[in-house]
Structure 1
Amino acid sequence: MIRYPVDVDTRVSPNLSLLIDSRVNDPDAEQPVTLVTVRTFIAGLLPSALDEVERLHHFDMDASLLDELDVLIEEYGGDALAIDFVRSDASEALTRAIEAVVDDENRENPPTLGTVREAITGGLTAKLVGDGVLEDDEDDTLLAEIDALIRRHGVDALAEEFIRYE
């Protein structure tokens, strides 16, 4: 197993990280999933009938993910395991949710990822949106994001370890 000198997952955008995570956790995916495997998947999403200018204009999200992957492939190689590039820190929105659970004065034990998931499914996001801590559209991906962290690190991982400090 190759160990990189820096946390390579910090060099990956949240969108690419979620996409890589979905490919890595796809039961039908070829194992092991590499950066080239993910690139091939994304390239397959772009309609081949469009010329390059139309692709970039209409599908800039997919194109930017391809550009980001190309940089990673150039630096780390196409056969690098994709799982190493899945972000292990929380998004800004999930960080706010974790902090809300951590700051709960009624809590006796440090919260785990499972505790945060329970809070999210129990209405925490609606409360945070109502309090103005989260925007309406930010709560849409919190459950998927916490589930991805749980799959990778386990339900009992301390939630504070995933707070993003920027």
Structure 2
Amino acid sequence: MSPNVSLEEVKSGLRRALTWHGDRPDRHRYADVTGWWRRPELLANLGPALAGLFADRPPTVVIGPESRGCLLGPLVALHLGVGFVEVRKNRAGCIDSDAWLRRTTPPDYRDRHLSLGFRRRLVGGGDRALFVDDWIETGGQAHGARLLTEDAGATWLGAATVVDALRGNRVRRELDVRSLLHLREL
């Protein structure tokens, strides 16, 4: 974060830039976070704010799922001076000769089982991987990414997210989820 911006100011900016669509009791109600990307001052501070959640456990690589993890992850990686690895979803047969690690997730927030993967050569045994995404609701994608990380022989540090919408503590503890905001703060 820039020296003149506090974590509370970042959180306040996130709340102001988020829009809800639908009525509260509507089960199809959803959060529109696209306003976060439109505000350059907020965007500039998201990487440092998320990185700060794991200041006690510095990574050697940041991993993030398509699509928003691929937007936020590089911001965190850039701030930390480490690389970024994209976790692809439902990648069809690869046309390249690179080896891929793949895992199927437990159900995600839409009750889908996704196939996650990344190129094997990008994460190795000496790496400490930090997972970054915008929102965590079931932990399915983070769990799949953790298994991929372990398959690569790397160490899982945890998951840094903007919003924690988990309903219980079990997944939060298992994955070491740390977030800027909890759903109830929105």
**TM (normalized to structure 2)?**
0.24
Higher relative contact order (CA 8 A, sep 6+): 1
Higher relative strand content = 2
**TM (normalized to structure 1)?**
0.26
Larger radius of gyration: 1
